[in-house]
Amino acid sequence: MTTDLTPDLERLGIDVIRGLAMDAPRRANSGHQGTAMALAPAAHVLWTRVLRYDASAPHWPDRDRFILSCGHASILQYSMLYLTGYGLELEDLEAFRQWGSLTPGHPERGHTVGIEVTTGPLGQGFANGVGMAIAEQNLRARFGPDVCDHHVHAFVSDGDLEEGISHEAASLAGHLGLGRLVYLYDDNHVSIDGPTELALSDDAPARFRSYGWHVLELGEAGEDLDALEAAFHEARSVEDRPSLIIVRTHIGTPSPDHTDDPAAHGLAFGADDIRRTKEVMGLPPDEEFHVPAEVLEMYRSAGRRGSVPREDWEQRSAPVIAARAAEWEASLGASGLPGWDDALPTFGPEDSPATRQASQQCLTAMIGGVPGLLSGGADLIGNTGNALPGRPVLSREVPEGELIHFGIREHAMGAVLVGAADHGGVFPVAGTFLVFSDYMRGAVRLAALSGSKCVFVWSHDSVGVGEDGPTHQPVEHVMSLRLIPDLTVIRPADGNETAAAWRVAVEGEGPVALILSRQGTPTLPTSAARARDGVARGAYTVLDADDPDVVLVATGTEVAVALEAASSLSAGGTSVRVVSMPSWELLRSQGTEYRSSLLPDGVPVVSVEAGTTTGWAEYADASVGIDRFGASAPGSTVLRELGINPEHVAEVAAGLVASRS
């Protein structure tokens, strides 16, 4: 069956989308009907006239990307994925927001085919798109336009633009001249509490022009399909800067009851409201999930049209990809070339670098071996050990650059990493001080939820920061990061553990948090031989004792403190085992047998970590830690005064052994 695209058929398609946008949330007894209804014309234009995609090949590397940053309107995206043939069925829309369905409350990458990033927390998707555009630009510069030549589109809302992260991300996008980035701003003047004017009086066009964006003000064109199409194509033609299309929409359109009504953000449309709105649109008023065959065929035809450019891309790109097959595959997998890790350094007894310095040596060694490597930092590249010596800085003039200066934009930096990772083709890494991980937490959580392969490097990992005082001395941060499911947190004890941590990051899947020290720390006596396997398993024995009286388990620089305490205890006749436990998550994946081989049942365990002791009861009977804020003084003084010293560890261990005796 073929369908001629006519104005009447297009209008019917838009009305069908609006019907689905009312029916699915109503069936689920949930909300967010009105925004999807208002954006239905823009979605129709984008999927039928603008986007380059092939619904039968949703992972085609050179497809255009789409982000619904206002993820609360997820029913709009699900409706388009169903209509254009991505694999969703009408039954999936009927199961909207239900347990186990493919249509959860907000779009989730990896859960539903066609969803590029996980959105919902406002502003995150906006910044994810910037990361995607950076990845696209970088890949195009590295491999050429025959391999990579596409755009990143997003729908963004008033809420996205109000969130601070959008300011940081928009500023960075303008600075980098990301011309393949096209956002449509749904300017509906409505928030949950009432009109946006309650709290918002920004001049959005002036704001984005000041960032260096190309801005198109369409006014009351939310229903004008040709004007929307022309704006999209004009924006796509701008190569030297990102574009923002501003269109005045009306939430809940064309409801006779709830157009421009703040209640349309929620579950405003009951059965009677839906019936009256469907009557206005000419749809069967009492039929739910109504999709006429000609409408479905119109959208399925749009979903199939991309097969031609995809097949053309496959032929055009084949010679380049074949000539650089290993590099291309490693880039797509965010992994290394064969033997990439042979260049990683090994540290000996004479070495005592801070783990941030050891990490810098590892990154330097990885240059060339990990083709997609993009490293950067929030004005702290040197401090965190994220430099790439001799490699070009990424800029609008040098898009193939490998080093990104994010500026002091930690909020956006985290989400940009996630977007770049979700785009594919790069292995993004970025760093700042651990205490500022708080600024990035929303993005880190979404990285874990999405399985985004990126590395968050956080240095200056304890009160050992010293003179900067408690505002810059993390105490609760490592433990709070361990609470995030599916985030692998690694706090290495020395240079060899740091190299092993990078192996885990490159060869594994999903996000890694690498926690590094400011201060130097000695190389552990057994780490050169044991760290590679030990870090991969989450923990290993650093100092052996076949029948220990006590086990000291520590992370990071405190492993060296535990070894000194063990020496003192051994001199007094106490048999001590010391275990380095750089990653709780990796240890949990090993099962109980391996854990018991390190921490035998019935043997008292003391944990040593320069941070909160909360959580250590899972492994330890007593804990040496810091359950208060730090203080301003030299780092060694602060650590000593707060009990992170061998004498105190030995005292606590001896007391525990005595109490058990």
Catalytic site positions: 410
CB atoms near residue 10 (< 10 Å): 18
By CB neighbour count within 10 A (0-12 exposed, 13-18 middle, 19+ buried), where does 539 fall? buried
Cα distance between residue 587 and residue 353, in whole Å: 25
Q: Calculate the dihedral angle through the C-alpha atoms of 370, 375, 381, 385, rounding to the nearest 10 degrees.
A: -30
- The residues facing 152 across adjacent strands are 65, 181
Count helices and strands in the chain by DSSP H and E runs: 26, 16
CA distances from 277 to 79, 265, 462 (A): 18, 16, 59
CB 315 within 8 A of CB 96: no
Start-to-end C-alpha separation, the chain = 84
Cα distance between residue 387 and residue 628, in whole Å: 33
Half-sphere exposure of 657 (CA within 13 A, CB side): 19
DSSP 185: E
> Residue holding tokens 């009557």?
279
The percent of the chain in helix, strand and coil, each rounded to the nearest 5, is 45, 10, 40
Closest CA to 274 of 265, 282, 262, 286: 286
Q: What amino acid occupies position 328?
A: W
CA distances from 388 to 204, 360, 402 (A): 37, 8, 8
